[in-house]
């Protein structure tokens, strides 16, 4: 089934012409409408469904260009299977096969394209039958960006023949340039260090734009695997769309990375943003969600300018979802999967299904993340134990072995933008490779850092930005800030501490320092003794966090004590195999400070309702079931 959508018939002046730009982004290997972790078909994800919208949009306006703005090679167990097990079986990567089948006109890379290593990346891209552009990643640096020896073509000029309002043929040259966050050099240091250099997005664009104009580009489209942030945001170099839009020469920005939508009211308060027109500093801008959830559709009406070139006279942006309805009542209207995408992925899909059912061990208790943002959590503490066991063995007989060993873990699946089904939910009984991926979805690697008590308290303060400020004596206040990602809420197992959400946060959700007067973390102890600010600890954590991922301060090299390159999911699997059967009773780690006569609310899975009484040291009750498929839970402090 396809959603009915009226087609706006543009009335063009005789000298005007019309081109449609289509965009996908952050597909993350969700090529099919299938959730490998729950083993269910789902109508809410899948490039196979987006492909049907692409065909419809092209049928409406044949004068179209289709682009992707990165993070297509990694993101689920299908991606892991291709990279780690199937690469010697079939050379054509299924993501590239799907994009070839859809006849993409161009794409750039996201930071996660580098996660499996440079060799795998280049082997995967070699079969692409569409241009790949990336301007700010170089093998060798020159005196300026345009003199670099770049990894891929920095830009390409696409020639498109269009019909004007008078019916005459007009040729337009569309320049397409690509960018990725320079922080990729840190996040994927294991894969790129000593091989690649990453430049600032805006600096690179400023240097290349005149060159693209000189090469004849009538219209310049930036494919930016980068999001939208305020000018004073500490992550503005990562999410650089706003300063990028200030550059003369860029006509259109297609962005991504944040897994969000634009235009969207959430960005309305940022300077230069016009939600009604879908522009940032006057530049048409679009971001189409993630996992194939939406197709971005931008219609541009072009007219001749005074120099004999073309300029945008007006435009319209449409974000087309692949589903309607709400999970609570069931998806009541579903986009069909495109058969050519299903066929392109079939071999690797079946190989993945066969692989992930291999047994690892058993669990005596359910493992879920329904309450991981409000309480101690067995699923997280299982990962924490595996990390600590590995680090402890690796540091044995070293001077660091004498220091207290802690383990930092966070929930990757805890609702949020990905919806009410985005929770780990493993029942008692067998654990398989599928279970491991559910417990730890990302290919992060283990590392260990040496930190002081002062460092750790600051780390926890950053995590405590998850919570809205709760006011004494008020009921049913929203507990969680929805823009704070669950993967940035670390539990540091081995300590005990309190979080006081009635205090103002020390950091904003995106990591900006607020005030040295603000403190939410208190009563922090190790083995029932208060920790000293200068006391040293070893913390087992992941490569993403240690490198500054999630808006945290990166750990300096001199404080890094262990980097083996071992994926945490593999470590978890080895630990469970060694144990045979796991039974994790969560140890006390963190508590909320008592707030008499005060309550808040949070959202979780409907499956959590019957387990409210099982959550230790928390007073929880059901408030309601919301239209978006979540259960709204009261928590009394």
For residues 4-19, give the mean pLDDT. 74
> What contacts 346, CB < 8 A, 6 or more positions away?
none
Choosing from 349, 374, 393, the residue where a domain stops is 349
Same domain, 307 and 367: no
pLDDT tens-digit series, residues 275-296? 999 999 999 999 999 999 999 9
d(CA 239, CA 227) in angstroms, rounded, equals 4
For residues 41-60, give the mean pLDDT. 95
Asked whether the predicted pLDDT for residue 384 surpasses 50, the reply is yes
Same domain, 601 and 569: yes
pLDDT tens-digit series, residues 109-148? 999 999 999 999 999 999 999 999 999 999 999 999 999 9
Same domain, 293 and 380: no
Is 106 or 84 the better-scoring residue by pLDDT?
Answer: 106
**Are 369 and 415 spatial neighbours (Cβ–Cβ below 8 Å)?**
no
Per-residue model confidence (pLDDT) at position 105: 98
Please indicate, yes or no, if residue 3 is contained in any of the structural domains.
Answer: no
d(CA 466, CA 510) in angstroms, rounded, equals 10
Residues in the chain: 637
d(CA 428, CA 280) in angstroms, rounded, equals 50
**Are 483 and 120 spatial neighbours (Cβ–Cβ below 8 Å)?**
no
Please indicate, yes or no, if residue 8 is contained in any of the structural domains.
Answer: no
Please indicate, yes or no, if residue 285 is contained in any of the structural domains.
Answer: yes
Residue 85: pLDDT band (50, 70, 90) is confident
For residues 312-329, give the mean pLDDT. 79
Asked whether the predicted pLDDT for residue 234 surpasses 90, the reply is no
For residue 589 the two structure tokens come to 């780690």
Please indicate, yes or no, if residue 626 is contained in any of the structural domains.
Answer: yes
For residues 216-244, give the mean pLDDT. 93
Same domain, 474 and 386: yes
Which of 210, 148, 224 lies closest to 179, judged by CA? 224
Choosing from 295, 319, 349, the residue where a domain stops is 349
Catalogue the E-assigned strands of 475-518.
Answer: 477-478, 491-493, 496-499
Same domain, 319 and 421: no
Same domain, 390 and 537: yes
Please indicate, yes or no, if residue 1 is contained in any of the structural domains.
Answer: no
pLDDT tens-digit series, residues 297-316? 999 999 998 888 899 999 99
Please tell me whether the peptide bond between 541 and the residue prior to it is cis, using omega within 30 degrees of 0: no
For residue 262 the two structure tokens come to 């634009």
**Are 227 and 215 spatial neighbours (Cβ–Cβ below 8 Å)?**
no
For residues 256-260, give the mean pLDDT. 95
Residue corresponding to tokens 């300018």 = 305
d(CA 366, CA 584) in angstroms, rounded, equals 10
Q: What is the domain range of residue 236? A: 17-349
Q: Tell me the whole-structure pTM to 2 decimals.
A: 0.87
Same domain, 240 and 374: no
Please indicate, yes or no, if residue 9 is contained in any of the structural domains.
Answer: no
Per-residue model confidence (pLDDT) at position 332: 52
Same domain, 434 and 295: no
For residues 141-166, give the mean pLDDT. 95
Q: How many CB atoms are closer than 10 A to CB 241? A: 31
Per-residue model confidence (pLDDT) at position 456: 98
d(CA 18, CA 15) in angstroms, rounded, equals 11
For residues 221-245, give the mean pLDDT. 92
Same domain, 311 and 377: no
Per-residue model confidence (pLDDT) at position 125: 97
Residue corresponding to tokens 């291709």 = 82
Same domain, 150 and 296: yes
pLDDT tens-digit series, residues 537-578? 999 999 999 988 888 988 999 999 999 989 999 999 999 999
**Are 101 and 341 spatial neighbours (Cβ–Cβ below 8 Å)?**
yes
> What contacts 244, CB < 8 A, 6 or more positions away?
179, 201, 202, 205, 222, 224, 226, 250, 253
Q: What secondary structure letter does DSSP report for 16?
A: -
Is 42 or 95 the better-scoring residue by pLDDT?
Answer: 95
The CATH number given to whatever domain includes residue 438 is 3.90.780.10
Choosing from 349, 379, 395, the residue where a domain stops is 349
Is 91 or 194 the better-scoring residue by pLDDT?
Answer: 194
The CATH number given to whatever domain includes residue 155 is 3.60.21.10
d(CA 231, CA 237) in angstroms, rounded, equals 9
Please indicate, yes or no, if residue 4 is contained in any of the structural domains.
Answer: no
**Cβ neighbourhood burial of 364 (10 Å; 0-12, 13-18, 19+):** exposed
d(CA 287, CA 90) in angstroms, rounded, equals 32
From residue 404, give the alpha-carbon distance in Å to each of 332, 392, 451, 557: 54, 10, 10, 20
Per-residue model confidence (pLDDT) at position 235: 77
Note the helical H segments in 27-156.
47-60, 77-81, 94-101, 118-125
Phi, psi of 582 (to 5 degrees): -110, 145
For residues 428-449, give the mean pLDDT. 95
Same domain, 186 and 163: yes
Which of 177, 171, 242 lies closest to 209, judged by CA? 177
Same domain, 281 and 430: no
Total domains, the chain: 2
String of DSSP letters for 384-426: HHHHHHHHHHHTTTSGGGGS-EEEEE--S-BSGGG-TT-B-EE
Which of 432, 438, 436 lies closest to 357, judged by CA? 432
Please indicate, yes or no, if residue 225 is contained in any of the structural domains.
Answer: yes
Residue 87: pLDDT band (50, 70, 90) is low
């Amino acid at each position: 089934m396809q959603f009915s959508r009226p087609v706006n018939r543009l009335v063009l002046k005789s000298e005007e012409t019309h081109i449609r730009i289509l965009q996908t982004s952050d597909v993350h290997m969700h090529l099919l409408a299938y959730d490998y972790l729950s083993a269910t078909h789902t109508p809410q994800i899948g490039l196979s469904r987006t492909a049907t919208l692409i065909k419809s949009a092209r049928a409406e306006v044949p004068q179209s260009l289709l682009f992707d703005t990165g993070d297509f090679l990694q993101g689920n167990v299908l991606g892991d299977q291709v990279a780690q097990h199937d690469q010697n079986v079939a050379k054509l990567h299924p993501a590239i096969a799907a994009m070839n089948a859809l006849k993409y006109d161009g794409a750039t890379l996201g930071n996660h394209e580098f996660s499996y290593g440079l060799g795998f990346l280049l082997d995967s891209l070699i079969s692409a039958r569409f241009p790949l552009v990336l301007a700010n990643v170089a093998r060798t640096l020159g005196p300026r960006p345009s003199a670099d020896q770049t990894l891929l073509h920095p830009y390409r000029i696409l020639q498109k023949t269009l019909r004007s309002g008078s019916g005459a043929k007009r040729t337009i040259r569309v320049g397409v340039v690509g960018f990725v966050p320079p922080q990729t050099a840190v996040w994927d240091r294991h894969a790129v260090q000593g091989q690649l250099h990453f430049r600032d997005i805006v600096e690179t664009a400023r240097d290349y734009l005149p060159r693209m104009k000189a090469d004849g580009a009538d219209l310049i489209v930036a494919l930016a695997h980068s999001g939208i942030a305020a000018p004073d945001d500490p992550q503005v170099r990562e999410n650089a769309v706003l300063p990028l839009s200030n550059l003369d020469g860029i006509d259109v920005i297609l962005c991504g990375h944040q897994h969000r939508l634009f235009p969207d009211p959430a960005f309305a308060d940022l300077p230069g943003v016009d939600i009604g027109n879908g522009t940032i500093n006057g530049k048409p801008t679009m971001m189409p969600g993630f996992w194939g959830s939406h197709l971005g559709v931008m219609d541009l009406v072009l007219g001749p300018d005074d120099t004999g070139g073309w300029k945008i006279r007006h435009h319209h942006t449409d974000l087309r979802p692949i589903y309607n309805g709400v999970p609570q009542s069931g998806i009541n209207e579903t986009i069909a999967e495109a058969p050519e995408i299903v066929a392109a992925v079939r071999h690797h899909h079946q190989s993945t299904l066969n692989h992930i059912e291999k047994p690892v061990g058993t669990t005596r208790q359910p493992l879920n993340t329904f309450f991981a943002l409000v309480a101690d959590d067995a699923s997280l503490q299982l990962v924490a134990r595996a990390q600590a066991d590995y680090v402890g063995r690796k540091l044995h007989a070293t001077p660091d072995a004498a220091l207290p060993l802690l383990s930092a873990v966070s929930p990757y699946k805890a609702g949020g933008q990905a919806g009410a089904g985005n929770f780990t939910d493993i029942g008692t009984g067998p654990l398989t490779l599928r279970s491991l991926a559910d417990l730890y979805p990302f290919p992060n690697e283990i590392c260990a850092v040496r930190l002081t008590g002062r460092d750790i308290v600051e780390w926890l303060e950053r995590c405590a930005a998850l919570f809205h400020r709760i006011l004494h004596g008020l009921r049913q206040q929203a507990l969680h800030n929805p823009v704070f990602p669950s993967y940035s809420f670390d539990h540091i197992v081995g300590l005990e501490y309190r979080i006081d959400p009635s205090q103002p946060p020390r950091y904003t959700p995106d990591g900006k320092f607020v005030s040295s007067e603000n403190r939410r973390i208190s009563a922090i102890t190790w083995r029932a003794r208060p920790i000293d600010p200068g006391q040293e600890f070893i913390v087992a954590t992941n490569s993403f966090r240690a490198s500054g991922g999630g808006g945290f301060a990166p750990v300096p090299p001199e404080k890094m004590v262990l980097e083996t390159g071992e994926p945490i999911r593999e470590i978890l699997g080895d630990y469970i195999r060694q144990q045979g059967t796991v039974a994790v009773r969560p140890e006390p780690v963190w508590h909320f400070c008592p707030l008499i006569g005060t309550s808040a609310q949070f959202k979780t899975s409907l499956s959590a309702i019957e387990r409210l009484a099982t959550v230790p040291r928390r007073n929880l009750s059901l408030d309601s079931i919301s239209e978006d498929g979540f259960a709204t839970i009261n928590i009394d402090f």
